[in-house]
Structure 1
């Protein structure tokens, strides 16, 4: 979470949500760090960045290793086919 949970317009409810989610939420600026780092860091192919904290819920950007299924060509084809089917759009690759 990146502080987007405080949009109810109710100060009391927003404060309660902030208190409840504070162990794993972070500011929008902190949440954007992995994306910004990915734009400027030299990274190996098929890699990505995520937060380095507990369960990757929050923290500074760190290089992550994709799981086995994320690298599986057959799974990728299934996901791509589903996206094409659901959106009606296909990219000519």
Structure 2
């Protein structure tokens, strides 16, 4: 038996000194993968330092945001797609 999941990917670009708006997924945990730059990421109620190559998992229902502490930060946010949750 083969199990397939569908995920949504969102590209987040945060300019120097800015912060992305918080996002939440009620369908499951989200994974934030930092592609370029450095800054801090909100995971629930804690800000964590991040840099290119880091991966951060945020529990379902918890806020997730990205803040630049220098130059531009680019990350990919991966979360369960609505179709995957409805198919379960």
What TM-score do the two structures reach when normalised by structure 1? Answer: 0.21
Greater strand share, structure number: 2
Q: Is the radius of gyration larger for structure 1 or structure 2?
A: 1
Greater helix share, structure number: 1
The higher relative CO (CA closer than 8 Å, separation ≥ 6) is in 2
What TM-score do the two structures reach when normalised by structure 2? Answer: 0.22
